[in-house]
Structure 1
Amino acid sequence: MNWLLRAIYFIFAAYSLSVGAVENSGDIIKRGEYLSHLGDCVACHTNKDGKPMAGGLELKTPFGALYSTNITPDEKTGIGRYTFEQFDRAMRKGVAADGHNLYPAMPYPSYSKMTTDDMHALYQYLMFGVAPVEQKNIPSQMKWPYNMRWGLSFWNILFGGSKPYIQDSAQSSQWNRGAYIVQGMGHCGSCHTPRGLLFQEKAMSQDGSNGKYFLSGSTVDSWHAVNLRNLWTAPEIVTFLKTGKNQHATAYGTMTEVIGLSTQHFTDEDLMAMAIYLKSLSNESDAQMQPILAVEKSQLYKTKNGLSYYQFCSTCHLSDGKGVPKVFPPLAGNKSILSDDPTSVIHVVLSGWRSTETKTNHRIVGMPEYGSLDDAELAGIISFIRSSWGNSAPAVTPNQVKAVRDQLQLEIATKSKFVTPRFSKMLDKTNSSQLVYGMRLMSETGVLLPDHVGNSLNCSSCHTNAGTVANASPYIGVAAQFPAYAPRAGKVIDLEDRINGCFKRSMNGKALAKDSNEMKAMIAYMNWVNGPYQKGDQIPGRGVGKIDKALMPNVDNGKVVYQAQCAVCHGNNGEGVKKADGRYAFPMVWGDESFNLGAGMARTYTAAAFIKQNMPMGHNTKFPLGQGGSLTDQEAVDVAEYFSHMGRPDFTDKSKDWPNGEKPKDARY
């Protein structure tokens, strides 16, 4: 059909799309565009960095590779010559205009449920609302015998498209709307319904969308799509589909694309209709949602798996597994974590994750890649998560981790010069209780020593993960360097003096008695984490890195950077972020409960170096905390100047500092 004939068709179709209603061409195209979001057309028919709807995206299957086709209105390579009847047949029956059978990677069994009006509107949008792109289609690379398309004729007889959706008169209009989207254009079953021997959705071969297999969960391409029959409350489902997160979970894997390209564009009415329908498939009422239980402290601190979780996961997901609202997802009660098939959680832990960007959620959060940990370590961490805080799911084995690692073709990273000490190894020592206590004093300083901490910080606020992260003021090799001359004190100090300096400055508190059990535990821990290093050794990852001190700070830009990169964890006004129990998940960075003027972080260039290497945390997939790498030196200096010079407590002994005249240029006094 040439452009003139299509234009004539469009004029007449505009007046005949729905009985008793007259729509202009703009309305029809707009409705068709919305329907394309319902069908998530752009996700499959747009290659990475390619033009919209021009195809070319590789779709891996167990039988070989397929490449999505060009569905722009280009007459040479796209669907520009398709009549409506040919388009309708392709959408409902999986038969292209030239008569060849489409592979059911194209979810035509689901699209067949569309109404005729919706099919017309979608056709109009693709023909007149999408720019034509001349781009040749890539031939499929299916293995024999799956490359013989004639066999699909028999597949279609068994599992092909059905009639348009039929309303259930026993259900509400809202329920029916949700069923229409989920079963039809939304094609949720394509990922969330398990496949049979002939790669059909099992619901197709059982009792349809009402069968027990429909949306019961399935594993595809190293991701496990969760059981949708037993999800959250309807409002929580809506929030997840609109923003990519809710109080229970955050989208991962291909679901981030579904939300980013599709469901975030749905109307609130359609999202709620879907949620009402999905909730009706479950036997669990909203009132039956299970409470989150506290993890046994003995499991967290006295088992190797618990200590591994504490070291590598609790910074973001917290010791209670509840995560940080609107930032880091909870693990307690997270149904993705609890799936019988642990493929997805293994996949995420191995290769990392980044949240989806939506209209209501512009700040992308990342999870680090933990593929550098061996299979046994990862199996232990995942097993701990699946059995804590009321979670109850089978343990994961190292062989299961290895299987997913092999599917992803990931290798265990070669060891770097900086070797991360493992908390779990403390349990091998005769003084393990003292070492674990010392580590906890570093990580939970304010909770365990409330009389000595006067603000919202812990030692780990600056010495990340209890001093085990490179370029985040690690403790590796530090104990061996003391006693040492300290320019700020103007004399030789011991390790206890150095620790007490942090209590008085960074934590705006009081010194510990040197012979106290707490000080002895902290010293024992620092001696353990010191490793093999001796005084004067070159220690990889020591300190916080370097920053160009010749850079002049721009406070105005620093405010902009802070709001864009820092406020999500530290608050718009530096007030920090608190947990449900009122304790701080992330500390204040200015104000009465922040560090005082005597702290190292009150100095612009010291703070800038730390920020450049370590902040924002959870921004990318870098091991171990997804930290750093997103700010330039100038931006780091700008934001450091901005927040370090905001109001904060004074340091009463400041007149005693640098008695020998070695004061740095960025000192606050």
Structure 2
Amino acid sequence: MPASVASLSDDLPSDFSDALDATTREQVLRGRYVARLGDCVACHTHDKGKPMAGGLALETPFGKLYSTNITPDRQTGIGQYSFAQFDRVMREGVTADGRHLYPAMPYPSYAKMSEEDMRALYVYLMQAVKPVTLPNRPLEMSFPFNQRWGMALWNMAFLQRSAFEPDPARSAQWNRGAYIVQGPGHCGACHTPRGIGMQEKTMSESGSNGPLFLSGETVEHWRALDLRGRWRPEDVAGLLRTGSNRFGTVAGNMVDVVQHSTQYLSNEDLLAVGTYLASLSPASPQRPSPAVAATVTSTVPAELYSTRGGLGYLQFCATCHRSDGNGVQDLFPPLAGNPTLQSDEPSSLIHIMLTGWRAARTHAQPKAMSMPAFSALSDGEIAEILNFARASWGGRQQGNISAHQVARLRSELGTPQQRPEGPRFEAPRLADMLKEKNSPQLIRGARLNIETGRLLPQHVGNGLNCASCHLNAGTVGGGSPYVGVSAAFPSYAARAGRVITLEDRINGCFPRSMNGKPLPPGSQDMQAMLAYIEWMRRDAQPGGKVPGRGIGKIDHNLKPDPVNGERIYRAQCAACHGPQGEGIRSRDGQWIYPALWGEESFNIGAGMARTYTAAAFVKRNMPIALHDRFPLGQGGLSDQDAVDVAEFFTHQPRPDFALKSKDWPRDKKPADARY
């Protein structure tokens, strides 16, 4: 029995040990481990409250079928199956009443299982799974594909009934990995190309078709990767245990595989799988070496600010994946060497952009980050962004993705281009700056917003950039966008006690939010920032309302609870801003996400140092990557939680503001001001 089985009994009935003898208990534990090897629950569960009761729709090229009830219910499940009948349905796909299953049930792989594992799985399903009465749903397939007898002919042509035979020339570890991959793990069901009869073209690495085994296939519009010799054993083990490794993260159906199956496997078995896969020669000699893929270079592509794809990436992707494509360790996957970017077949990339992504939730990484769907972007925009990313970090200079490919998959997935939820304005596209006569100036203005500290080191005294508060360079509704802002100036500012210009407003941020020094009035950099903000004015008129402008309001009658605020911070904020509010830096010391307190954060003169101002921002914009709200998966806390966490972090130590005595000379100071 694998070493970790005994510690994985949390989902078994509380009284199962009392009701069974020691031998049966041992079989139940082993059988539950085998069920996890085979990921039975993923396909045989539609209603999470009725595990193993079937009913999950499985799409095939010939129509829809539904997984069956494999609970020990005697009327609708497998409760009346003998072991011989169970063994036959698992190895040959033939039920107790003689009906043939379709190979969506991977019985060709299960045929390789040992008798010991098969008996243990039978005991587990019969003794430890709760019976559920749920009739199996009929097929939704047209003639002749709904004729099950045809599967008898399919079995005659394609089914290999022999159990796995160890290779005596190989190590025990290699053989264990080969057994898991070829047998209960049924990896080839998704990762091996299919033939004209929808059969896997080979079931192992041996034989004339052996090089096709695990060489990649497209399944339900996801590209199952070529697994042959891709990574070192420890990289494979890390991905299967946590859902991510130094090359990327799982997506699509693999998320369920990791959550329900591989995270529970022993370290020995995960390394065995990795050892076996690493031994297989790559299917494509042109595939980039994995040694290159994980190099962290902090190199920003030269085309980032000069192409539509680069500017689209900068606006919609760089917050998580960063301008250099390195991602954020333990949070967001890197793009450099990411196998999905390297793949010849771009289905997964387009699929993720259209429908979004969520990380696997595992014991090792319980916080599942997400990426919202970008279906609000046009087909052309998605193609431009993906082509930029593939050229920059995937080594894909040829075979560009077309807008037509995006449109076709959008239609097949049923994801029409929709306006995003939330404040109703169309986010200005940074890529459109390239069409303007003063595009160099506008692009400089955008860069100054995104890279303020790097480009203006004499004027920024902490780790913040303008885009730290004006999300996605001021294009996110409710995220302090620049849309329509210039139409509101000149205007009276209570904090200054006078009418101020837009230039005054910009220069107010440098000594406060960025704890630095104002720009020289009329300087080229100031003119670039003014031009950039004016470009986003659109058709806004003085005194007019712009939906989504600002950060919204929050009820000042809500009483802050800083104790709850600290709890919220630890759970929702610390991953990006650090356990002590210190922020996150890259390996070469560059800021990724800013500090929320301490000497590297905003000072007490910043608007964000006020509880209710910070709470309004947090309410609509933090944390990111929490759900599917376009474009950052942002927001989601309740009003009370937002006020509580804002009270907690705004009242932590931070720099003083030397000119605080000059604030609010005529008007009443807000109650939540820090001085």
- Using structure 2 for the length normalisation, give the TM-score: 0.94
Structure 2 gaps of 5+ residues are 1-19, 283-287
Q: Which amino acid is 2:122 matched to?
A: Y
Q: Distance in 2 between matches of 1:225 and 1:381?
A: 22
Q: CA deviation at 1:305?
A: 1.1
C-alpha contact 1:208 1:214 (8 A) present in aligned 2 = no
1:309 partnered with 2:308: no
Q: CA deviation at 1:233?
A: 2.1
- The alpha-carbon distance between structure 1 residues 208 and 646, as it changes in their structure 2 partners (threshold 3 A), is farther
- The alpha-carbon distance between structure 1 residues 417 and 290, as it changes in their structure 2 partners (threshold 3 A), is closer
Q: Where in structure 2 are the equivalents of 1:94-243 lying within 5 Å?
A: 94-204=93-203, 211-243=210-242
Q: CA deviation at 1:337?
A: 1.8
Q: CA deviation at 1:232?
A: 2.2
Q: Secondary structure at the match of 2:64?
A: strand
Q: Deviations over 1:535-585 (max 9, x none)?
A: 111111011012111000001000000011001100111011111221111
- The alpha-carbon distance between structure 1 residues 173 and 64, as it changes in their structure 2 partners (threshold 3 A), is same
Q: Deviations over 1:162-189 (max 9, x none)?
A: 3111001111100000000000000011
Between 636-645 and 207-216, the greater mean CA deviation after superposition: 207-216
Q: Distance in 2 between matches of 1:639 and 1:287?
A: 42
Q: Where in structure 2 are the equivalents of 1:423-442 lying within 5 Å?
A: 423-442=430-449
Please point out which of 417, 421, 441 is paired with 1:412.
Answer: 417
C-alpha contact 1:437 1:521 (8 A) present in aligned 2 = yes
Q: CA deviation at 1:92?
A: 0.7
Q: Which amino acid is 1:192 matched to?
A: H
Q: Secondary structure at the match of 2:248?
A: coil
- The alpha-carbon distance between structure 1 residues 446 and 287, as it changes in their structure 2 partners (threshold 3 A), is closer
Please point out which of 634, 654, 660 is paired with 1:648.
Answer: 654
Q: Deviations over 1:120-167 (max 9, x none)?
A: 111110110111111111111122111111111111011114311100
The aligned residue for residue 400 of structure 1 is 405
Q: Which amino acid is 1:315 matched to?
A: T
Q: Secondary structure at the match of 1:29?
A: helix
The aligned residue for residue 533 of structure 1 is 540
Q: Where in structure 2 are the equivalents of 1:654-669 lying within 5 Å?
A: 654-669=660-675
Q: Deviations over 1:87-132 (max 9, x none)?
A: 1111111111111111111100000111111111111101101111
1:457 partnered with 2:461: no
The aligned residue for residue 342 of structure 2 is 338
Please point out which of 367, 375, 380 is paired with 1:371.
Answer: 375
Q: Secondary structure at the match of 1:198?
A: coil
Q: Distance in 1 between matches of 2:320 and 2:231?
A: 23
Q: Which amino acid is 2:639 matched to?
A: D
Q: CA deviation at 1:390?
A: 5.7
Q: Secondary structure at the match of 1:427?
A: helix
C-alpha contact 1:320 1:389 (8 A) present in aligned 2 = no
- Using structure 1 for the length normalisation, give the TM-score: 0.94
Identity of aligned residues (%): 55
The aligned residue for residue 326 of structure 1 is 330
- The alpha-carbon distance between structure 1 residues 290 and 52, as it changes in their structure 2 partners (threshold 3 A), is closer
- The alpha-carbon distance between structure 1 residues 208 and 88, as it changes in their structure 2 partners (threshold 3 A), is farther
Q: Secondary structure at the match of 2:504?
A: helix
Q: Secondary structure at the match of 1:585?
A: strand
Q: Distance in 1 between matches of 2:208 and 2:581?
A: 51
Q: Secondary structure at the match of 2:145?
A: coil
Q: Which amino acid is 2:358 matched to?
A: R
Q: Distance in 2 between matches of 1:150 and 1:350?
A: 39
Please point out which of 501, 504, 513 is paired with 1:506.
Answer: 513
The aligned residue for residue 591 of structure 2 is 584
Q: Distance in 2 between matches of 1:147 and 1:503?
A: 69
Q: Where in structure 2 are the equivalents of 1:204-283 lying within 5 Å?
A: 204=203, 211-283=210-282
The aligned residue for residue 482 of structure 1 is 489
Q: Which amino acid is 1:134 matched to?
A: T
Q: Deviations over 1:215-250 (max 9, x none)?
A: 111111111111111422221111110011112111
Q: Which amino acid is 1:147 matched to?
A: N
Q: Distance in 1 between matches of 2:222 and 2:394?
A: 24
Q: Distance in 2 between matches of 1:578 and 1:248?
A: 20
C-alpha contact 1:352 1:366 (8 A) present in aligned 2 = yes
Q: Deviations over 1:577-622 (max 9, x none)?
A: 1112211110000111000000011000000000000000111111
Q: Which amino acid is 1:336 matched to?
A: T
Q: Which amino acid is 1:369 matched to?
A: A
Q: Secondary structure at the match of 1:341?
A: coil
- The alpha-carbon distance between structure 1 residues 206 and 582, as it changes in their structure 2 partners (threshold 3 A), is closer
Q: CA deviation at 1:392?
A: 2.2
The aligned residue for residue 5 of structure 2 is none
Q: Deviations over 1:190-229 (max 9, x none)?
A: 1111111111111159955971211111111111111111
Q: CA deviation at 1:297?
A: 4.4
- The alpha-carbon distance between structure 1 residues 571 and 649, as it changes in their structure 2 partners (threshold 3 A), is same
The aligned residue for residue 76 of structure 1 is 75
Q: Distance in 1 between matches of 2:460 and 2:477?
A: 25
Please point out which of 550, 553, 577 is paired with 1:570.
Answer: 577
Q: Which amino acid is 2:377 matched to?
A: L
Q: Distance in 2 between matches of 1:250 and 1:584?
A: 23
- The alpha-carbon distance between structure 1 residues 74 and 596, as it changes in their structure 2 partners (threshold 3 A), is same
Q: Secondary structure at the match of 1:185?
A: coil
Q: CA deviation at 1:482?
A: 1.1
Q: Which amino acid is 1:85 matched to?
A: A
Q: Secondary structure at the match of 1:337?
A: helix
The aligned residue for residue 13 of structure 2 is none
Q: Which amino acid is 1:136 matched to?
A: P
Q: Secondary structure at the match of 1:228?
A: coil
Q: Distance in 1 between matches of 2:371 and 2:207?
A: 38
Q: Distance in 2 between matches of 1:293 and 1:658?
A: 47
Q: Which amino acid is 2:26 matched to?
A: D
Q: Distance in 2 between matches of 1:462 and 1:97?
A: 63
Q: Distance in 1 between matches of 2:300 and 2:451?
A: 17
Please point out which of 615, 623, 638 is paired with 2:622.
Answer: 615
Q: Which amino acid is 2:405 matched to?
A: Q
Q: Distance in 2 between matches of 1:209 and 1:641?
A: 67
Between 476-485 and 502-511, the greater mean CA deviation after superposition: 476-485
Please point out which of 542, 545, 548 is paired with 2:549.
Answer: 542
Q: Distance in 1 between matches of 2:299 and 2:103?
A: 45
Q: Which amino acid is 2:456 matched to?
A: L
Q: Which amino acid is 2:245 matched to?
A: N
C-alpha contact 1:445 1:453 (8 A) present in aligned 2 = yes
Q: Which amino acid is 1:218 matched to?
A: E
**What's the RMSD between the two structures over aligned residues?**
1.8
